[in-house]
Chains A and B, each alone.
Chain A
């Protein structure tokens, strides 16, 4: 038997990841849908991995420029996404002490 084509392996990963995503996201409470969107923004900034390879390993001017720009754009999301999510989630926390005092 021939070795399985890597694209097929990736397809398997893809389908299973969608399945996991589907179930995990339905469990997210509607109150946190905005933070969900912000954090998914940060997560999709994982393309920074590809961008870093492009920025560091390419030699042509075109490749390098594109890579560096992509790194910059993706890091806007890495930092912006996670930090704004944290800021929002902190807002959801502040009330907890009050709640426990009251009840």
Chain B
């Protein structure tokens, strides 16, 4: 038994190494390998444990395990190989829901047969402490599951179902309802802890599933980076809760690592939008309201053609590209990379500036650029590159809006205080957009009306391809 625990400890250390490896792209692949090794050790050790605990019936039991792994593993592997990088947030949300539901199922199995896990002697009641932990693991898992399903729908954005649409779903007394349901869920939880009956357990689970839905629906589609990070955190806590109830320290360690990782990512995302976590969770941001104020008057902007842009770029010494999610939607990453390549061949310095909330999840834009084979050392984070905009000849904003809006520096605007990329400081600014529509925050962007700004309207991919041709 001690050997099992020691091997579990080794696996836990591997998981920590996996996260540690991600501190740099070069060490990250080894980190991922560590993660796989850790998981393999954990699984093999558990197989050994199963044979130790049940020498007679283990073989048939293992058949069930192998069947489950074969089905789930195949599905996972196929998805991992096929998924498009723009669809990463959906995949991640989907995987969160898997963990949530798995935690719920394990909790149910534990309540049904606690002796199978060596918690108690046969037909003995579960100790109170484990009931508390089972309750926590089960309800966090259930909320993670149904919340992730809603988040998945909102991210995919292709389902007609109202709850799956990006716009926040608000109704009167929403928060009160959540509070009442939450208290009711806790009440059933306490009833389960006291009696260990199935009835309060099922009721508690049902309420937790409903709550997961209710918590996510008021949050707007563009706040999904925070939501996905938050559910990431929840899935970790659910795993840790299961670890507590099964006395398994490896589950606790792995779960806490994931839990704190998700919490930190949510914090980073909120900070990048200058909004408090509660402001995001309470939802309702990104509805109309602001839009009407923004686009009432038509103001003159300077617009130009792809040829003009090509000329300006060719005569620059330094260029910074600011990619936004619009770029990924237009699938223009490869064209942009080609453009950068041509410019670099002329000896022009080209870099990319990434705002933390560019894309639909933390670090999404970096992956999209990496997919287009943009070298990661040309891609800079906001803090690192912001001071360089002042010395830059041309800044090219592609499919981004709010993250370069100088209104963030003006007191009283909706996005005041949000950190932005200081594109307005550059000598010239080129902005590619499909139209003059306002961004997510529903604000007009002063940057577009500046004298040094040239707007290029049109689909990002087509515009950039035209520029590439014109650079010749």
> Are A54 and B106 in contact, with the CB atoms below 8 A?
yes
A37 B73 Cβ-Cβ under 8 A: no
Per-position 1/0 for A83-94, Cβ under 8 A of B? 111111111111
By beta carbon, the residue of chain A nearest B383 is: A30
- Tell whether A39 pairs with B242 under 8 Å between CB atoms, given A58-B109, A84-B91, A95-B373: no
Shortest beta-carbon distance, B52 to chain A, in Å? 11
- Interchain CB contact under 8 A, B247 and A10: yes
Are A44 and B377 closer than 8 Å at their CB atoms? no
**Alpha-carbon distance between A32 and B369 when the two chains are bound, in angstroms:** 12
Question: Number of contacts between A and B (CB, 8 Å)?
Answer: 383
| Cα–Cα, bound, A17→B256 (Å) | 6
Chain B, residue nearest A90 (CB): B29
Interface members, chain B 10-60 (any A CB < 8 Å): 11-12, 15-16, 18-20, 22-26, 28-29, 31-32, 35-36, 38-39, 42-43, 46-47, 49-50, 53-54, 58
Within the complex, the shortest CB–CB distance from B383 to chain A, in Å, comes to 9
Q: Scoring B residues 53 to 83 as 1 if CB is less than 8 Å from chain A, else 0, what string do you get?
A: 1100010011011011101111111011101
Complex interface: stretch among B151-159, B166-174, B355-363: B355-363
Distance in Å: Cβ of A30 to nearest Cβ of chain B: 5
Residue on A nearest B257 in the bound complex, by CB: A21
A76 touching B72 in the complex, CB below 8 Å, given contacts A37-B361, A70-B109: yes
Contacts of A99 in B (CB 8 A): 375, 377
CB distance from B91 to the nearest CB of A (A): 7
Interface residues on A, range: 35 or more
Does A47 contact B68, Cβ atoms closer than 8 Å? Answer: no
Name B's interface SS.
helix
User: Which residues of A55-103 are within 8 A (CB) of B?
Assistant: 55-60, 62-64, 66-96, 98-99
In the assembled complex, the CB of B344 is this many whole angstroms from the nearest CB of chain A, namely: 9
* Partner among B35, B99, B244, B261 whose Cβ is within 8 Å of the Cβ of A74: B99
Complex-state Cα separation, A50 to B106, whole angstroms: 7
0/1 interface trace, chain B 109-131, chain A, CB 8 Å (1 if under): 11011001100000000000100
B367 touches A88 (CB 8 A): yes
Is the C-beta of B432 less than 8 angstroms from some C-beta in chain A? no
Q: Assuming the A-B contacts A66-B106, A74-B72, are A82 and B36 also in contact, with contact meaning beta carbons closer than 8 angstroms in the complex?
A: yes
Q: Which residues of B contact A73 (CB under 8 A)?
A: 72, 98-99, 101-102, 105
The complex places the Cα of A45 from the Cα of B391 at a distance, in Å, of: 47
With both beta carbons as reference points, the residue of chain A lying nearest to B367 in the complex is identified as A34
Contacts of A55 in B (CB 8 A): 61, 64-65, 68
B92 close to A (CB within 8 Å): yes
Task: Given A21-B256, A75-B68, A75-B69, verify A7-B244 contact (CB < 8 Å).
Answer: yes
Nearest CB on A from B259, distance (A): 7
**Is B351's CB within 8 Å of the partner chain A?**
no
A95, B376: Cβ atoms closer than 8 Å:
yes
- Give the most central of A76, A82, A92: most B CB within 10 Å: A76
Q: Is B105 a contact of A76 with CB atoms below 8 Å? A: no
Q: Give the A-binding residues of B (Cβ under 8 A).
A: 11-12, 15-16, 18-20, 22-26, 28-29, 31-32, 35-36, 38-39, 42-43, 46-47, 49-50, 53-54, 58, 61-62, 64-65, 67-69, 71-77, 79-81, 83, 85, 88, 91-92, 95-96, 98-99, 101-103, 105-106, 108-110, 112-113, 116-117, 129, 133, 228-229, 232, 235-236, 238-240, 242-244, 246-262, 264-265, 268, 354, 356, 361-364, 366-367, 370-371, 373-377, 379, 381
Q: Given contacts A38-B91, A56-B61, A60-B113, list 10 more A-B pairs with CB under 8 A.
A: A24-B16, A35-B363, A38-B92, A46-B254, A47-B238, A60-B112, A71-B64, A76-B98, A78-B43, A80-B95
Can you offer 27 A-B residue contacts whose CB atoms are under 8 A? A24-B16, A25-B260, A31-B363, A32-B366, A34-B367, A37-B92, A40-B236, A42-B35, A43-B39, A43-B258, A50-B248, A51-B105, A53-B46, A53-B49, A53-B246, A54-B110, A67-B64, A67-B109, A68-B65, A72-B71, A73-B98, A81-B76, A84-B83, A89-B25, A92-B376, A96-B26, A99-B377
